Structure 1
Amino acid sequence: MPESPEVEALARFLADEASGREIRGVDVLEFRTVKTRAAPPATITGRTITGSRRHGKHVELVLDESSLVVSLGRHGWMRWLGAAPDADPAELAADAPPALATFVLSGDRGLEVTDAGSWVSLGLFVVGDAGEVPAIAKLGPDPADPAFTRDQFDAALGRRRKQIKAILQEQESLAGIGNAYSDEILHLAKMSPVTHAASLDEGEADRLFEATLMTVRGAIDARIGVPIDQLKAHKVAAMRVHGRTGDACPVCNDTIRDLTFSGTSAQYCPTCQNGGVPL
């Protein structure tokens, strides 16, 4: 699932490479992606891209009139082509995820939105303002935002009898974090994924806050400038515990374990996060 560090790098890439380009053509190949039926993507033909920004796990292409918001969903991404898509198919690898929509841009460039999942989770919205997208309107504060405060973090946690891993991934509470980075945050904070927010003392809340900022902001710094087709590989390579079941913990050398609970899964280190006792 795309998360804020990779999506931020994607948005900055598009701001640099796509700004100033006119949208010359739009071809939607999967019509289930279209979420604004009264304003389908074809209506932005002729518009000029003026910038790009991230909202949680969503990318907004800012146009001279309106915006195209891409909700990346579970397996969505974008592909930048060095020539118009119909002129340069050789650029695509044999195992590349299929394009669900194609945008032909001026300057002989192309942008595709893709989805590697077995069901379509990606969505396209043509709106006057990104806040018109329901999921964006409901987003909580973003830990990547320099203005993010400890008070906002404490409000997101509350005194809730809910597991902190679930709260970290809850977009209405904290924007941009998913399954992978929530595992990394909890490992850095030395906390069990099944700990409830209501049980945290002040010192534990301090550790969790600092781990959240360090993980999210550090990952963004590490991803900026990485080619967008390599961002997923860089993310996977940087994980300490997420996706590392059976490997040695890089901190204490205990074996990283997997836990499935409450409809989700977590990878964690028993020694670092649960006093040496497997969950």
Structure 2
Amino acid sequence: MPELPEVSALAGFVAEHAGGQQIVGVTVASLNVLTTYDPPATALVGRVLAAGDRYGKFLDLVTVPDGDPDGPALHLVVHLARAGWLRWSDKISATPPKMGGPIALRVRFSGGGGFDITEAGTKKSVAAAVVTDPLQVPGVARLGPDAMGGDGRGLALDTLTAALAGRTGRLKNVLTDQTVLAGIGNAYSDEILHTAELSPFATAGKLNETALASLHEAIVSVLSAAIARTVGAGAARLKGEKRTGLRVHARTGLPCPVCGGTVAEVSFADRSFQYCPTCQTGGKLLADRRLSRLIK
């Protein structure tokens, strides 16, 4: 799943490659992808890409009228969900993609390039909206404070403290709740908790000052490092860049790069997370529902 660093990089990549260019074609190739109808997707045609931005894990491509950079903006807001991606081509085909295939949406620019929004698998969750204000997208309107702060320099400690106050859920779940903090998903929450040496099953609202400070430092450092790795990376390389920086996520059974212990996993019906028992839980294994057991 693309998270804050990858979506930030995608926004910058599209702005760099298509900024100032006119949109000459928009094709919706999936019945489920477009969540708005007024204005229609065709309203983007003839407009110019002015900027790329993000809200949490939502990609925001900002367009303005051709010849009027100060004119009313129209936003293409995309959520790539778990299996979606943006694939850029310097010479994208003008032939519309087939309905029902892996391509959900295609956008072509006057320079000849463009991108496809794709989604692997049969579960279709990628969503796109054409709006005059990103807050018209319900998912954006519900977002909590951004995990990198409003200025992109990092979340403030007092903002994190307020966001977690009174939360009775497990820390892993709370960190990935976009209404609490925007931008952190399954992979980077694993990395953040490992860096902070905190258990995924810790109660979010019961962290002491030391734990909160460690968590805050880990959020800023892990996300900042991930963003730095993506600078200048092409859209096709971003998934690989993400994997190179992971220390525990998706590394079940491999040695922890910090202590040498074995990375463990907790699995649920459709997802899993990884952690280091030695670094994070005092050597104890956490409950794994696959095995129908509870180890405290």
Range of TM-score over shorter length? over 0.9
Does residue 102 of the first structure (1) align with residue 110 of the second (2)? Answer: no
In structure 2, relative to structure 1, the CA distance for the partners of 1:76 and 1:101 (3 Å cut) is: same
| Residue among 261, 266, 276 paired with 2:273 | 266
Does residue 115 of the first structure (1) align with residue 123 of the second (2)? Answer: no
2:110 maps to a residue whose letter is: S
Kindly indicate which of the two structures has a greater share of residues assigned to helix: 1
Q: Distance in 2 between matches of 1:40 and 1:222?
A: 36
Between the two proteins, what is the percent identity of the paired residues?
A: 42
Q: TM-score w.r.t. structure 2 length?
A: 0.87
Q: TM-score w.r.t. structure 1 length?
A: 0.92
1:107 maps to a residue whose letter is: G
With 238-247 and 189-198 compared, the bigger mean Cα shift is at 189-198
1:26 maps to a residue whose letter is: V
The residue aligned with 2:79 is: 71
Does residue 198 of the first structure (1) align with residue 205 of the second (2)? Answer: yes
Does residue 185 of the first structure (1) align with residue 170 of the second (2)? Answer: no
In structure 2, relative to structure 1, the CA distance for the partners of 1:18 and 1:41 (3 Å cut) is: same
Does residue 172 of the first structure (1) align with residue 176 of the second (2)? Answer: no
Cα deviation for residue 231 of structure 1 reads 0.6
The residue aligned with 1:162 is: 169
Q: Distance in 1 between matches of 2:178 and 2:204?
A: 16
With 269-278 and 139-148 compared, the bigger mean Cα shift is at 139-148
Give per-residue Cα distances to partners, 1:200-224, cap 9 Å, x unaligned: 1111111111111111111111111
User: Which runs of no fewer than 5 residues in structure 1 stay unpaired?
Assistant: 90-96
Q: Distance in 1 between matches of 2:88 and 2:188?
A: 25
1:25–1:45 Cα contact (<8 Å) kept: yes
In structure 2, relative to structure 1, the CA distance for the partners of 1:187 and 1:35 (3 Å cut) is: same
Q: Distance in 2 between matches of 1:111 and 1:147?
A: 30
| Count of residue pairs the alignment pairs up | 271
2:13 maps to a residue whose letter is: F
| Residue among 213, 217, 220 paired with 1:210 | 217
The residue aligned with 2:15 is: 15
Give per-residue Cα distances to partners, 1:89-112, cap 9 Å, x unaligned: 9xxxxxxx9221111210111221
The residue aligned with 1:135 is: 139
Give per-residue Cα distances to partners, 1:177-235, cap 9 Å, x unaligned: 00000000000011111010233111111111111111111111111111111111111
In structure 2, relative to structure 1, the CA distance for the partners of 1:211 and 1:35 (3 Å cut) is: same
The residue aligned with 1:53 is: 53
